[in-house]
Structure 1
Amino acid sequence: MSRSSVERETGRLNSLKAMASSSAVEMYLRKDGVAVISIQNPPKNTLNNSVMSGLQKHFREAQTRADVNAIVLTGSHQNFSFGVDITLFQYIQKKGSDRDVQFVPAIPFMSMIEDGPKPVVAALEGYAIGAALEMTLACHARLGSSNAKFSIPDFYNGIIPGLGGTQRLPRLMGLQKTLEFFWMTKPWTATEALEAGMIDGIIENGQVVEAACDLALNIFLGKVPWHKSLERVDRLESFGEALNILRRARMQAKRDHPNLMHPLICIDVMEEGVLKGGLAGAMLEEKFSHALVNTPIAKGLMHVFFARRSVSKIRGITHDVMTPRKMSCVAVVGCDIAGASIATSFLLHKLRTIVKANNDDDLQKIISFIKKNIEKCEAQRMISHKQGGKLAGLLSGTTDYKELHAADLIVEAMEEDPQGQREKVLRILANISKPNSILVTNSSLVKLSALSIAQPLHSHIFGVHFMSSAYDNELVEVSFLEGTLPQAVLDVFALLKSMNKVPVTLKCSPGLIVDRLLHVLSLSRLLLIDIGVDKGRIHVLLKDFGMDMNLLQFKVIEDDALLAKSMTFTEGNAILSEHQKLPSLLDDDVLDMLLFPVVNEAFWILHEEVAGSAEHIDICSVLGLGFPSYRGGILFWARMVGMDYIFSQLSLWSNQYKGFLKPLLEQDKSAQFEVRRKFPARL
């Protein structure tokens, strides 16, 4: 054999050895007889079939080996686990069944941990999410690092826990606390988990595995009690109190989430455990957790989950190639409510913020707006009073443009544009800003390509439209020119994501996605009012459909004023009198006439390539328009309804009412192929 052949063979053998050792789950035995089982699936240690099979294999081995006294379950790479890989649910939804998915049976697996002959302690560092957290509940004790975070977000994916979480958590911390935990939008800290009874101690970062090994050995030696969560009753409320808690929870779920069934199913499953015992509850939980994955609600919520992530990705721009620059100082030009809202959003994320106004009176006005916003955040417990005081220290104001030179990013947020002053202001900002600073306009009316701003600033200018109440709305619509520097794009998106925003990219064009959808919805409403549908009925129907009526604000073109000016859509261009026969519209008809034109406008936005995908429009409709997230967004919902039906109804109405109801497919035949290509399943 030649030298090169030997080298190739050696390389192949080394590669095989590396593959053999690179398991998704690893186990090693310490000298004291404690077996440490660790999840090794970076970066988030998600639970897939390989991980679950590995856990089952190593637990079975550790429980039967004579030289193993106790077991510690832990993660790796600074995290325990982020739970089940949610793409598995997406796969099941596409297939329509989980028949070809080889799940590790939940109840036997959890019983192997909980009822096995060796004590098991979970060592939790970083995030313990969803099914991963449920798995630790079958352990006989749990220790968390000081940076640990705990969450079961199944409710927000349209499903319920599936590894016994509805049964073991109430037995560790009571039904009331468990319900609060399930409905929480933010993960619990280690301190919150300890106070509730979820974990048994907090250990300094980096030392939790060692502490867990000591605890596991002490349980084995009988120095510490051996607790099985599913059998505990000492922390569960009394029978009567438990039933009352569940009754109140059921009433609240019906009131707060009238269109959702999985919160009620979750409560029913918890009640099963109270009435018949933890094992019976776990069996019912497993049944429903599988069944709920394929419901329309779960499909809609998971679609939004994935869409939120996909819309913020910029093709060709990654952290692997470039590193975003850190921004420490931002400036906002504009002394109205919108400017104050944007400035508040920056302050909440600890950015030094300068606000610019034309005179001292206007400056005091915007600072007053900002302080009121901070007080509102304190009242809503978004921040503490002490934190609010610190944020005020990051705010400064000026009437001099030159004071903005230090800013890494400057936002023009003038609500009005008297005598075309906006472009003049942008030119001034371009002249006074430092090299590589980023210039942003919050207006949807500015045509970026037409701005007479010299290079290099022209490659650093963006349209970044914050929603009203920018500090508590996630959505930001972002547009930029083809010549915009990739580094600047990365910087802007990194900043927005660090502020917990969802930046959605759109093509530079007059009007934004949310504005266009909102405008058509408002016109639909006007049409219905014009033909005699009561305003109150419209409001109730939209609310019952699930629209966020606090977020949904119709374009304040005064409806009554418009009607008084005879802006009508019926044939003859005249308002219907009370003596004319009004059409008999069912509630479903009214809702369709409100929303189908919005679907039509969404397709126009797609056809004009203002939005890069249907997901962009869905996220804008959910976060900006108030469309219910459990319906997946306006276009996802339209696909569920059926595009043929929607366009046939639009065609029917366009013959009865003038103008905007005519469907895209009739107005632009070239769009027909594009629509059918993007939505083939239902057309």
Structure 2
Amino acid sequence: MSMSADTAATSLAIEDGIAILTVSSPPVNALSARVRTGIAEGMRTASADPAAKAIVLICEGRTFIAGADISEFGKPPQGTPLAEMIATLEGAPKPVVAAIHGTALGGGLETALGAHYRVAVPSAKVGLPEVKLGIIPGAGGTQRLPRVVGVQRALEMITSGEFVSAAKAAESGLIDEIVEEGRLREGAVAFAKKVVAEGRPLKKVRDLSDKMDEARGKPEIFDAFRKAHARKFRGFEAPEGCIRAIEAAVNLPFDEGLKKEREIFNGLISGTQSKAQRYVFFAEREVRKIPDLPDDTKTLPVESVGIIGAGTMGGGIAMNFLNAGIPVTIVEQKQDALDRGLGIMRKNYEASAAKGRMKAEDVETRMGLVTGSLDMKDLGGADLVIEAIFENMDLKKETFAKLDAVAKPGAILASNTSYLDVNEIGAVTTRPDHVIGMHFFSPANVMRLLEVVRTDKATKEVVATAVKLAPKIGKLGVLVGVCHGFVGNRMLAQRQREANRLIEEGAMPWDVDRVLYEFGLPMGPFAMSDLAGLDIGWQKGQEATRLRDRLCDIDRRGQKTGAGFYDYDEKRKATPSKLVEQMVLDWSKEKGIARRPISDEEILQRLVFPMINEGAKILEEGKALRASDIDMVWITGYGWPVYRGGPMFYGDTIGLKTVLAKMEEWEKAIGPEFKPSALLRRKAEAGEQFTGAA
């Protein structure tokens, strides 16, 4: 028997005594006002119908409810509120079974927790990923989940936002039964009939307490969890909100706990961090949209890859392709360099296997896809060849001329240059239309960012191939234009100049590093230099034009020599160096600079505002498509804190008028390198933003 309690988003049918309430709101059945209202109305109709002995909530399409409708955030509420809809499920007078396939995430899992029972197919995944948007679950997730899976597991799931497989969810009691793949409807109906036949109780999650009892009156459980995850949660407000909400679940009656959860949720959703994290969520998806490269742009096949150079970058780049099952031929000039490079790749894979991140046989499978060679002619069959050699224009041009002679017609030739003009590199070949920049970030097998550098002559197919290849090898590919340093390093140069100048004027290296670390970056510029090695670009015996040259002259070359800007112990723990402090003071004196106290606020502004200004110039010149693309470069390539939304978003949050005023002040006081960009001036004077999201 079918019933007409349909709304546009839900339909209700009764089959053999079981009401089946189906949600159909493509593409992911998100909890829009229409869906929430449809479910609430369908539940009321089914509850009142004597023909229905139990109710199954199921979704059409590729997934169960995949979460809230993020586009409704910050808008006036419409339709049935989510918490009220969930209460309708939980308060139903007959057993309610949630039938899960695809993903039940966020509000989707909160909805399923409102049901009395949950079944799922083996491929289903569940989770509460709200923390990644700078908020906490706001419709009972923090109150119901610990009642089902226990406090420790709930803390882990909610503060990480991890997705959990159906098997793991069943282990923890979150799923009552796994049903056959592809037969979810039949399996859920059979389970509902069994519940009715056995007279099982209406298992309301709100009334469960046995898994909470062991945590009552034990604040030390929460303190230990905070301590264990302090590094991971540093700077983020939402994980602490999650912990406080779960504490409320343990210590307060259910309805009071719900109230506390809502209060924490409201505080976070109106804050800057959540705005930033939601902006980043959309910015990441926006990166793939390129105005003149529609989705149906033809791409070239990339079934084999060649790499020139088996050093740190070449080996790291190769691993990305091997991980994706794409065979790689890697070419070096000398056998020992080749052996060393291949050995390091194997060691990296074995370390991953030892940590349980891959199986031992995966190590062999991946290493089995790589061929080492000392002859560039062996790159003749590759669809894509990436050059990853020393950053020197003459050397790169010489390499590309040789490569052009051996690479097959139609192959894409890419340079992993960090700074150099890829148009100039392409000009030495007979196929500049097939030359592109692919700038991987170090370590290339770990860092997510790939700057895809579009040359003047590259065909649309070539550019589209590189952009579409990025996600296949686990990268976020951001399209950028040719200019010195592209987007990331061009902006970094502004920060580096000011970091060096600040220590000449009165700050110490560790003051500068501390300010950036407290701002949320993984490390400051001087600690970073020590990690990378101070001898990059240094030549023994040349005149010291930088303080770091002087440090190299006395063999303080960074962490590898146990001393750089900092002193290091055997565990590489850094402490400020008295010797370096004296060298900094002497350096200022030699340059005739009278040192002065510099506040943390000035340090931060001097490091970040010129970056924002440079970002504006990059947009003005069309070297990045959007301000949000610049922000994604900095988040994925340089560890800019997600909760600050990237440099351009940060500029918007503090106000572009503030940035402009400071740049004008420094232009007068220090020099023309602070000249505000025309775009920054225009936007500041019009009261506009770069991102419109802050």
Residue 196 (structure 1) aligns with: 172
Distance 1:479 1:564, change over 3 A: closer
Partner-residue secondary structure (3-state), 1:117: coil
Residue 336 (structure 1) aligns with: 311
Q: In 2, distance between residues paired with 1:325 and 1:248?
A: 53
1:50 equivalent in alignment to 2:34: yes
1:644 equivalent in alignment to 2:657: yes
Q: In 2, distance between residues paired with 1:327 and 1:107?
A: 49
Q: How does 1:351-390 map to 2 (within 5 A)?
A: 351-390=326-365
Residue 454 (structure 2) aligns with: 480
Larger mean Cα displacement after TM superposition, 420-429 or 43-52:
420-429
Q: In 1, distance between residues paired with 2:225 and 2:595?
A: 43
Q: Is the 8 A contact 1:546 1:628 kept in 2?
A: yes
1:117 equivalent in alignment to 2:117: no
Distance 1:205 1:281, change over 3 A: same
Q: In 2, distance between residues paired with 1:186 and 1:440?
A: 36
Displacement after TM superposition at 1:350 (Å): 2.3
Distance 1:483 1:34, change over 3 A: farther
Partner-residue secondary structure (3-state), 1:60: helix
1:23 equivalent in alignment to 2:21: no
Larger mean Cα displacement after TM superposition, 669-678 or 419-428:
669-678
Residue 206 (structure 2) aligns with: 230
1:180 equivalent in alignment to 2:156: yes
- What residue identity is the alignment partner of 1:328? E
Q: In 1, distance between residues paired with 2:413 and 2:27?
A: 35
Larger mean Cα displacement after TM superposition, 252-261 or 371-380:
252-261
Q: Is the 8 A contact 1:124 1:142 kept in 2?
A: yes
Which of 664, 689, 693 does residue 679 from structure 1 map onto?
A: 689
Q: How does 1:274-289 map to 2 (within 5 A)?
A: 274-289=250-265
Larger mean Cα displacement after TM superposition, 651-660 or 135-144:
651-660
Q: Is the 8 A contact 1:300 1:631 kept in 2?
A: yes
Partner-residue secondary structure (3-state), 1:472: coil
Q: Is the 8 A contact 2:329 2:370 kept in 1?
A: yes
1:615 equivalent in alignment to 2:641: no
1:218 equivalent in alignment to 2:218: no
Distance 1:346 1:60, change over 3 A: same
Partner-residue secondary structure (3-state), 1:471: coil
Displacement after TM superposition at 1:175 (Å): 0.9
1:160 equivalent in alignment to 2:136: yes
Q: In 1, distance between residues paired with 2:159 and 2:351?
A: 23
Residue 286 (structure 2) aligns with: 310
Residue 404 (structure 1) aligns with: 379
Q: Is the 8 A contact 1:356 1:363 kept in 2?
A: yes
Q: How does 1:492-507 map to 2 (within 5 A)?
A: 492-507=466-481
Partner-residue secondary structure (3-state), 1:470: coil
Residue 468 (structure 1) aligns with: 442
Q: In 2, distance between residues paired with 1:325 and 1:44?
A: 31
Q: In 1, distance between residues paired with 2:391 and 2:52?
A: 73
1:260 equivalent in alignment to 2:269: no
Deviations 1:404-455 (A, max 9, x none): 23322211111344x8232232233333333433221111314326623666
Distance 1:54 1:449, change over 3 A: farther
Distance 1:403 1:312, change over 3 A: same
Partner-residue secondary structure (3-state), 2:209: coil
Gaps spanning 5+ residues in structure 1: where?
1-19, 93-97, 568-572
1:245 equivalent in alignment to 2:221: yes
Larger mean Cα displacement after TM superposition, 176-185 or 291-300:
176-185
Partner-residue secondary structure (3-state), 2:546: helix
Structure 2 length-normalised TM: 0.86
Displacement after TM superposition at 1:183 (Å): 3.2
Displacement after TM superposition at 1:224 (Å): 4.3
Q: Is the 8 A contact 1:643 1:682 kept in 2?
A: no
Q: In 1, distance between residues paired with 2:79 and 2:218?
A: 32
Distance 1:447 1:482, change over 3 A: closer
1:273 equivalent in alignment to 2:249: yes
Larger mean Cα displacement after TM superposition, 167-176 or 276-285:
276-285
Q: How does 1:416-565 map to 2 (within 5 A)?
A: 416-417=391-392, 420-443=394-417, 444-448=419-423, 451-452=426-427, 457-549=431-523, 553-554=528-529, 562-563=546-547
Q: In 2, distance between residues paired with 1:651 and 1:380?
A: 52
Q: Is the 8 A contact 2:150 2:212 kept in 1?
A: yes
Q: Is the 8 A contact 1:607 1:674 kept in 2?
A: no
Q: Is the 8 A contact 2:217 2:251 kept in 1?
A: no
Structure 1 length-normalised TM: 0.87
Q: In 2, distance between residues paired with 1:392 and 1:498?
A: 19
Q: Is the 8 A contact 1:642 1:682 kept in 2?
A: no
Larger mean Cα displacement after TM superposition, 138-147 or 310-319:
310-319
- What residue identity is the alignment partner of 2:432? H
Displacement after TM superposition at 1:202 (Å): 2.2
Aligned residue-pair number: 644
Larger mean Cα displacement after TM superposition, 636-645 or 400-409:
400-409
Displacement after TM superposition at 1:259 (Å): 2.9
Distance 1:599 1:140, change over 3 A: same
Distance 1:670 1:293, change over 3 A: closer
RMSD: 3.0
Percent identical residues: 27
Residue 10 (structure 1) aligns with: none
Residue 676 (structure 2) aligns with: 664
Partner-residue secondary structure (3-state), 1:575: helix
Distance 1:476 1:676, change over 3 A: farther
Q: In 1, distance between residues paired with 2:489 and 2:316?
A: 18
- What residue identity is the alignment partner of 2:334? N
Larger mean Cα displacement after TM superposition, 489-498 or 614-623:
489-498
Q: Is the 8 A contact 1:442 1:464 kept in 2?
A: yes
Gaps spanning 5+ residues in structure 2: where?
539-543, 552-585
Q: Is the 8 A contact 1:599 1:634 kept in 2?
A: yes
Distance 1:254 1:395, change over 3 A: closer
Q: In 1, distance between residues paired with 2:55 and 2:442?
A: 53
Distance 1:248 1:639, change over 3 A: same
Q: Is the 8 A contact 1:253 1:264 kept in 2?
A: no
Partner-residue secondary structure (3-state), 1:664: coil
Displacement after TM superposition at 1:296 (Å): 0.4
Q: In 2, distance between residues paired with 1:649 and 1:379?
A: 51
Q: Is the 8 A contact 2:635 2:646 kept in 1?
A: yes
Residue 654 (structure 1) aligns with: 667
